[in-house]
Amino acid sequence: MDIQITQKESAGAERHVDVSIPAEAVQAAEERTARRYASQARLPGFRPGKAPAAMVRKRFAAEIRQDTVQALVQEAYTQLMAQQKLEPITQPHIHDLKFEDGAPMTFTFHFEVRPEITLEKLDGFTVEKGSGEVTEEMLQQQLDALRDQKATWAPVEEKPAPGDMVTVELATADADGTVPAGQEYRITLGDNQAIPGIEELIMEAAPGQTVERPVKWPEDFPDEAQRGQSKLTRVTVKEVKRKTTPVLDDAFAREIGDFDSVDALTAAVREDLSANATREADAEQRAKLLDAIIDANPFEVPPTWVRQLSQSYAQAYQVPEQDVDRFAQEFRPIAERQVRRDLVVDTIAKQHQLQATEADVDAEVQQMAESRGLDAGKVYATLQKSNRLSEIEHGITERKVFEWLKERNTLG
């Protein structure tokens, strides 16, 4: 088919392509579609496929027209892909479709393609690595977190203090000054679960007591309409529980795990923190190196990929629907940077044959299974079912690319 394809001036990953299909080709396609309908049509008074062609054309005019358009659009798209060797990443949209009897069919394809990236500078960069140091403060915080896991809560008959868990009945006055029946809340004081004024009011009452006075809402309260307002607030304290954390001693170490002493526990925690700090320092160094490469080799990124990444993070963070647009706008620079990094890694991997192989993935899964004392086949099946094998494959590829880059750059 003599289809005329003209690519319009495009920017970045977007493509706009004008298509014109000659009138005789359009007519021939419409005839083929009409014959197919005539051979299958079931009309009252006629055996299947025996109805007069004119009657079939009249009865199924809209369907024949729609099928003809779809067939010609698909044929034009196939020819476009073959001619220009494009790698589309979105389904094409059709704009400005014109389909009139006796005239060429014209329309415009609009889609995004995978950008062709030229990475001219991949070496000569110097990137320092973070120390990955584990401070005494970090160690103590982790040990305190372990103690918190074994903490117990017991009721007390005293006024609550910061850190206590309280069950309260809370109510604020309506616009006419009437204080309605309260609602019950469970709050840990000092965890920013309530505004400071309400926490202060709660700490004025022991279990069974009720206190009531105006409370001023903070100037940075999320609801602008309530900022700085004073509201009559009533609080009834129903229960106060106080946390008791175990002493960090040898007995605690034995309870936590297979540790003979608190020194052994402390050494294990320090080792875990050090390993994690090293991983984070390595990840930060990789990110800095990729950022340096991106800055030295600018390129456009597909807007669709940026939107999709923003949407996936919005879902992961459970962003409320009314805040999704604002989140996407604020998150866009981060999403765009991540898409650039992924494209750089993928481009280097393809150009230098560094992609993860099936054998690489199998070895990684085997190692995961052995470290957990599990069967490798079952681990592989679980990862496959949860669609996580691609994550492992990407991680292996990224490590290979980074090792390749380490040989060509100075990493302190």
Confidence at residue 1, expressed as pLDDT on a 0 to 100 scale: 61
Residue finishing a domain among 112, 136, 168:
112
- Positions of E strands within 173-329: 183-188, 210-216, 230-244
Range 388-406 average pLDDT? 93
Characterize the bridge pairing of strands 152-155 and 165-172: unpaired
DSSP states of 29-46 as a string? HHHHHHHHHHHH---TTS
Same domain, 233 and 264: no
Stronger pLDDT, 162 or 323, i.e. the higher one: 162
Identify whether 40 is part of a domain. Answer: yes
**pLDDT value at position 15?**
85
Gap between the Cα atoms of 113 and 314, Å rounded: 25
pLDDT score for 276: 92
Q: Which of 95-99, 130-134, 277-281 has the lowest mean pLDDT?
A: 130-134
pLDDT at 335: 92
Taking only Cα atoms into account, the Rg of the chain, rounded to an integer number of angstroms, comes to 34
Query: What's the CA gap between 55 and 57, in Å, rounded?
Result: 5
CB 354 within 8 A of CB 400: yes
Provide the pLDDT confidence category of residue 274 given band limits of 50, 70 and 90.
Answer: very high
What is the CATH classification number for the domain harbouring 35? 3.30.70.1050
Q: What is the CATH number of the domain that holds 289?
A: 1.10.3120.10
Band of pLDDT at residue 126, cut at 50, 70 and 90:
very high
| 251 vs 390: CA distance, rounded Å | 44
Structure tokens of 318? Answer: 């459970």
* Contact assessment for residue 237 and residue 168, using Cβ atoms and an 8 Å cutoff: yes
Based on the fold, state whether residues 195 and 276 are members of the same structural domain: no
CB distance 168 to 155 below 8 Å: no
161, 203 in Cβ contact below 8 A? Answer: yes
Mean pLDDT of the chain: 90
| pLDDT confidence of residue 246 | 94
Domain shared by 396 and 334, yes or no:
yes
Using CA atoms, how far residue 246 sits from 152, 202, 263, in Å, is 9, 27, 16
Domain C-terminal end among 93, 112, 131: 112
How many structural domains compose the chain? 3
**Cβ–Cβ < 8 Å for 265, 259:** yes
Write the DSSP assignment of 322-338 as a string of letters.
Answer: GGHHHHHHHHHHHHHHH
pLDDT value for 214: 94
**Residues 105, 24: one domain?**
yes
User: In terms of domains, do 220 and 296 share one?
Assistant: no
| Whether residue 47 sits in one domain with residue 13 | yes
pTM: 0.66
Same domain, 335 and 389: yes
Q: Which domain holds residue 190?
A: 152-244
Domain shared by 278 and 236, yes or no: no
If you average pLDDT over residues 221-231, what whole number do you get?
A: 88
Determine what percent of the chain is predicted with pLDDT higher than 90: 59
> Please, which residues have CB within 8 angstroms of residue 12's CB and are 6 or more apart in sequence?
115, 300, 301, 302, 303
Averaged pLDDT for residues 296-316: 89
Residues 229 and 285 in one domain: no
Q: Which contacts qualify for 5-8: CB closer than 8 Å, 24 or more apart? A: 5/76, 5/79, 5/80, 5/83, 5/84, 7/84, 8/108
**How confident is the model over 331-383, as pLDDT tens digits?**
999 999 999 999 999 999 999 999 999 999 999 999 999 988 999 999 999 99
For residue 117, what pLDDT band results from cuts at 50, 70 and 90?
confident
Domain contains 130: no
Share of the chain above pLDDT 70, in %: 99
Q: Are 282 and 226 found together in one domain?
A: no
Name the token pair of 299.
């390129």
Q: Are 371 and 317 in contact, with CB atoms under 8 Å apart?
A: no
- Split at pLDDT 50, 70, 90, the class of 165 is very high
